[in-house]
Amino acid sequence: MEDTAVNNVGSDNELSQLRIRELEGQVVEMRGRVDALQKEVTQLRRENAQLKRVPLFVAVVVDLLGNSEVYLRQQGNNQEYISQVADDLYKVLKPGTKVAVNNTLSIVKVIGNIYDSRVRVMELEESPDVTFEAIGGLENEIEEVREAVEYPLTHPEKFEKIKVEPPKGVLLFGPPGTGKTLIAKAVAHEAKATFIRMSGSELVHKFIGEGAQLVRELFSLARERAPSIVFIDEIDAIGSMRTHDGTSGSAEVQRTMMQLLAEMDGFDNRGDVRIMAATNRLDMLDPALQRPGRFDRIIEIPLPDADGRRRILQIHTKHLNHRGVDLEEIVHKTEKYTGADLQAVCREAGMMAVRRGADAVEHSDFLAAVRKVRNDPVMDNRMYR
């Protein structure tokens, strides 16, 4: 009985010894792994510090090519390349994502989505479909704009030969609704250029705090999409004198304006980005914007005269089913109407015919539409007197 107890204690002891040796072995192995991991941490810290030290380049994802391959375009120099990325990073990338790349062109981090803010504030059209035939009157004005904006894009050699610098920026001024945007779009169409429009007043009133950054992005987008035409509508909202007298203008608007001037000054007159702007209030505009090398060609887009109104009415009645309409009388009755008003007259006349259940628009519909557009308080607001 005693013998058995002694034997049991002996074998328990051996088992414990065995377990201790086993655990000691594990401790040694763990120490080895800790050492290896510590070495890895040190190495990664070094690499990380290295990555942070070297300047990173900003690139935009153009496309995802599958197999973790990303097609990137570097901002600034427009260089394009394909980079391999880790799977988890690949999942969060999409066309338009802005990333930071190191000097081996590997993506180090995601900065954001470049088009988010741009798309919110800019209208972008690849070669808009507006042609000069869609614009009534304004022949001389159109020619002046083409000379300054379109020909430098389509016939740069002509300027090169004469050694003349085309105007850098063209400013269109005149009442709202007279066709300023239309001209800019038609020029972009003719030059097969990308049309990028940004509204000055939206920039100032909707995107508070982002103005200068958006102006920077507007011009970088224009460079990316060149040949392009940048069209800044209602530029007076950014560059009005009132904001520079130190009393009413906010510092933010001033920063936006300074960024715009800096961007314009940094542009080559003969480059393939042309700059246009429009305003209804030339008198309000800061003279800094009109200095040579900035908006140095100023073109007035006036209210249409009788010939202009006739052409505009012809354009907007072209696809209208009408019968017995005396356009001459409408031309006479619409003095001081803008192109946009005349378009509204044609649309309203059409609506009246629809309401009557008729199969064609008649002269009386036009007369009623002329009166309606004049008296409509909403439309009246848009009139320029």
Retrieve residue 360's tokens: 């064609």
- Minimum distance from residue 176 beta carbon to ligand ATP (Å): 3
Q: Which of 136, 170, 186 is nearest to 345 (CA)?
A: 136
Given a contact cutoff of 8 angstroms between Cβ atoms, the answer to whether 199 and 214 are in contact is no
CA nearest 299: which of 276, 319, 320?
276
Contact 210, 202 (CB under 8 A): no
Q: Which is nearer to ligand ATP, 174 or 227 (CB)?
A: 174
Q: Which is nearer to ligand ATP, 85 or 193 (CB)?
A: 193
Among 340, 367, 373, 383, binds ligand ATP (CB under 6 A): 340
Residue in 327, 333, 299 with CA at minimum distance from that of residue 311: 327
Binding residue for ligand ATP, selected from 138, 237, 253, 260, defined by CB under 6 A: 138
Cβ neighbours, 10 Å, residue 35: 10
Site string for ligand ATP, 244-273 (x = CB under 6 A): ------------------------------
181 binds ligand ATP (CB under 6 A): yes
Q: Which of 269, 280, 290, 364 binds ligand ATP (CB under 6 A)?
A: 280
For the chain, how many helices (H) and strands (E)? 15, 13
Q: How far is the CB of 203 from ligand ATP (least distance, A)?
A: 14
Q: Please give the residues from 209 up to 238 whose contact with ligand ATP meets the rule CB under 6 A.
A: 233
In angstroms, rounded to a whole number, what is the distance separating the alpha carbons of residues 18 and 16?
Answer: 5
Among the listed residues 220, 225, 180, 223, the one whose alpha carbon sits nearest the alpha carbon of residue 199: 180
Shortest CB 75 distance to ligand ATP, Å: 30
For 174, residues 6+ apart whose C-beta sits below 8 A from its C-beta are 180, 280, 300, 301, 302, 303
178 near ligand ATP, rule: CB under 6 A: yes
Q: Is 317 in the site for ligand ATP (CB under 6 A)?
A: no
Query: Which position's Cβ is nearest ligand ATP?
Result: 339
The least distance separating ligand ATP from the CB of residue 303, rounded to whole angstroms, comes to: 10
Q: Which residue stretch of 30-38, 112-120, 178-186, 281-289 sits at the interface with ligand ATP (rule: CB under 6 A)?
A: 178-186
If one asks whether residue 179 binds ligand ATP (CB under 6 A), the answer comes out as: yes
Cβ closest to ligand ATP, residue 137 vs residue 350: 137
Q: Cβ-count burial of 372 within 10 angstroms (0-12 exposed, 13-18 middle, 19+ buried)? A: middle
Looking at 72, 114, 182, 285, which residue binds ligand ATP (CB under 6 A)?
182
Does residue 170 bind ligand ATP (CB under 6 A)?
Answer: no
Round to whole Å and give the CA distance between 215 and 304. Answer: 33
**Rule CB under 6 A: is residue 278 a binding residue for ligand ATP?**
yes
The DSSP secondary structure of 323-349, one letter per residue, reads ES--HHHHHHHTTT--HHHHHHHHHHH
Determine if 186 is a binding residue for ligand ATP (CB under 6 A). Answer: no
Interface segment toward ligand ATP; rule CB under 6 A; list 62-70, 134-142, 216-224, 324-332: 134-142
From 32-40, 173-181, 241-249, 260-268, span contacting ligand ATP (CB under 6 A)? 173-181
Asked if 85 is part of the footprint of ligand ATP (rule: CB under 6 A), the reply reads no
Q: Which residue number, 339 or 350, has a Cβ lying nearer to ligand ATP?
A: 339
Closest CA to 317 of 340, 337, 347, 339: 347
Does residue number 312 form part of the binding site for ligand ATP (CB under 6 A)? yes
Q: Can you tell me the distance from the alpha carbon of 175 to that of 132, in angstroms, rounded to the nearest whole number?
A: 20
Phi and psi based region of residue 96 (left: phi greater than 0; alpha: psi -120 to 50; beta: remaining): left
Q: Which residues bind ligand ATP (CB under 6 A)?
A: 135-138, 176-182, 233, 278, 280, 312, 315, 339-340, 343
